[in-house]
Structure 1
Amino acid sequence: MVVNAIGNSKWLAMSLTIVIVASAISISVLFYSQQIANENIRDKLFEKAKQDQSRVTRTIASRIGSDLDSIAARLQVLAVSQGLQGGDLTGQDADRLARSVFSQITAAHRAIDAFYILDKDNMVVKVANTKEDTDSRQFLGFDASSRDYVKETRSSLGPVFSNVFVGADGRPRITITYPIINRDSGQYLGLVGVGAQSEPFFKEYGNVDDFNSSTYLNVLDRNAVYVASPNSAIVGKSFFDKDVQDEFVRNDPIINNFYRKFLSGQFADATFDVGFGERLATGQPVIVNGKAAYFVTLGIPTSLIYSDIESVLAQQNTQSLYHMAGLVSAAAILIFFLIRLNGRLAREVSERTRALAEANEQLTDTNQRLREANEEIKSHDKMQSEFINIAAHELRTPIQPIVGMTEILKNRLVHDSGGKGKVEVTAKQLELIDRNAKRLQKLSAEILDTTRIESGTFRLDLEVLEMNERMRSVIADAKSLIPHGQSIKIHFKPLADESGRPIPLLVKADKLRIFEVVSNLLRNAIKFSARDDDNGGSSGSSHGSNGGSGGGGTVITITTDRKDGEMVVVSVKDQGAGISADIFPRLFTRFSADRERGGTGLGLFIAKNIVEAHGGRIWAENNNKDGKGATFAFTLPLVKP
């Protein structure tokens, strides 16, 4: 069985190798043949595109020549009219016929925008234009003797198609003129002419705006000056100018030979790149009355030509692919079945392995989530149990003195003859009841605030406060919190200027809530600073900005400062036992109470949420560097002036 399996495996490998090699050779031969055929097709199609463009170029040149000849013929009709032949260039008959001729020309050529008649002294005696924003009368009496087309008209005594020049509007223009010559005397009486901006005029025959979108048109005059072109930077410049040669032609001999050929009056074609991608260009002179009036070149990006060619080649390649598919179909089917037979087992094993790995990963993740959820439940149950025990203890502690004192007072109740009861109550007894009632009130307030925080209904009543004054109020109220027999002093160090005067620190905050935060921090500092005094004695606390005076004991320091000019920093530093390591990580969480010192563990949690609701931050640290105890601090945003 093993020998047969090995033999079958070798046969399969050999068969696959033969099929693959044979297919590769066949495909290579077909691809090479197809590549040769594609090159031949490209060459033929490109040659056809060049012939088509040559025909279009000749057609455009012929059309321009025909239109120029038509304009000159209309001007000739006006020049030989009876009114002008008599020398009356401004009479009513001449004016009526001139308007008619100008109307006919502009109807056929919308770019023609000006008409004029010059007398024998080259002075403008009649002018009209199609621009509503231009008063043509301003040109009456203008001496046009310096214009080249005027000189050429007088010397040639025939129609003139001018070279490009800069008109009064500052734009490149051309003009077409016809001389007024008396038929009997042969005397030169003046000329008639029409003019147009060169680019709008030749735009009627092709694209003179964009080099890349489609076939484009360049027009040059008899001085090889660009009359119209998509490249506006060269309009008005000669092809042979140094800057044109250096920047655009780059002294390319192919381009220079192409231009020289068609500027000499011959048809020309070439393929070259003038910095805007490769172009196929064809050039043809515009012939009017047997002479070259202008020269046109037609260009097209070769990429557009090849895009059309590629569509034809794609069809050709599709047919070749059909032949190739027929040749390798049998081999493909054979390879398919062999691979399928050999790969089915591999896929099955791979899929089962992957499924098993995924199931194992999912099981691991599920177990991990269950462990985490179980730990969270245990932690929550533990915290809840601790809170219930702490809350029960905290509630019982103030209730018992109140209930006990109430029983004592009830027993001392004395009824008078009127049946009314009265009892004598000492200040100490009232203080006991008041202190424990306030303790109950604080406990209930903390539980209520915790409920509001967790339910998202915690709200602030904001107003502008001066923090130094607020600190003094808190310190004054903290006096009653210092246990009897403890020497605890409270020093207040506000931010001050160089003369020692406190600097006002304005914040926008809820004054009751900020009072609650600072009171909470002070209460904790007093609680953890209190210790047994071997010598007895009274409390030594000090209030106000100047701190206490005389004596020893524990000191609690409250300071205010500024941070980065944007935050006020309030810190409360004590000299107590510090923060134990097991409490520190969960200091500002719920129920993080010190069992030895008592408390619900809600005060710091509430303080943290109050500070953060104001846009501040609260933190704590042990005073490891400068002694024992701990420092609690928080920040609040300063009010912008």
Structure 2
Amino acid sequence: MRTVCLLRVQVAAETKPASHLLEKFYSGSERVRMGMGQMRTMPLASPAWEHAEHWQALLDTSGEGIWGLDLEGRCTFVNRVAASALGFRAEELLGVDLHELVHRHPARGARTECPIYEIFRGNRPARQLADTFFRKDGSPLAVALSSEPITVEGRVRGVAVALRDVTRSRQQDEALRKLEKQAAVGQLASSIAHEINNPLESITNLLYLIRQTETMSDVQEYARLAQDELARVTAITLQTLRFHRQYSRPVEVDLAELLNAVIVLYTGRLLVRGVTVELKLEDAPKIFCIEGEIRQVVNNLVRNALDAISEGGRLFVRLHVQRDWRTGARGVRLIVADNGEGIVASILPHLFEPFQTTKELTGTGLGLWVSKGIVEKHGGRIAFRTRGEGGDVPDRHGTVFAVWLPVAPAASV
């Protein structure tokens, strides 16, 4: 019984079926397992299928780019979609080290750091990884790639890779993130205007009292109070500037200081609504992150909690050291909780998807989606628990969001 394998390799100047080489490793009665589904050797139904062109035609019918690599990283087969997406002709890719040609990132460097080659080191398949390749003209190509090992009798002989061009969807995601940031800026500007107006009103009243008083001791007391109110305005302004400050690289950030700064922006709103804030910030190591992005996450969570709390409610903010239970990596855990009405059950399965909101008039539905992306970009995780009013325990309702962030910067930051 003869066999044929869905591979092509470049041998000298001639393209031949990969079975030409694989005959060295397995006999015709043995099986070949290949990723992206299960492929086994089979008897030839027709002599026509002995021709590599028929296998290539089958590959070219796929709507996704597909190629294969041997253990040295050389391209053993490629379909039309993959070659076209990368701007090459198929003949230019066969037999070539594809990592060096289209996947080498200046920051990543060596092939040993390439996610595709994780298969060779640990026989671990990849599923829909977001990555960037480079076309023949040097332009970037945003892709989602999957890869699985090609094994012969339990031994890895190569890897099969499938990729999908996600450039357009990535651009759309980026546009949505910008939209959310613009919405957040508008909401923050409204809050800041309210916060600044309160001390300015106090200063106006104190200046009036200074003009009316006849004793120097009263003048000095009123002047001291006015100075305190001006200091409050200065603090709010500085925190606002820090909120909008942009960093392209991760910096060392004290999360406790950042949390306090965000709470300051909502002081007036908390007082007017009689909301009690319970801060419990333990000593925690500074983390390396893009400060503006993490500040945006914290602001989103605090603002959402305040929107859910009724007058006289409670806001809980916690920070403590915690290791990742899966990897043992050092990190910190941030908790923002409220005793509001909880999240509507119908939204829960889609909570971190775009345009999911309980604030129909004022919300964009992008805040949690953006926040999740930022947290995961930093190598962290975000989770939540919620309980609505009218449950088994009437006094226990609200929502808890927990964010874990590593101390060391993630490779994607």
TM-score range, shorter chain: 0.3 to 0.5
Normalized per residue, the structure richer in helix is 1
The structure having more radius of gyration, on CA atoms, is: 1
TM-score normalized with structure 1 length = 0.26
- TM-score, structure 2 as length reference: 0.36
| Higher strand fraction (1 or 2) | 2
Higher relative contact order, chain-length normalized (CA < 8 Å, sep 6+): 2
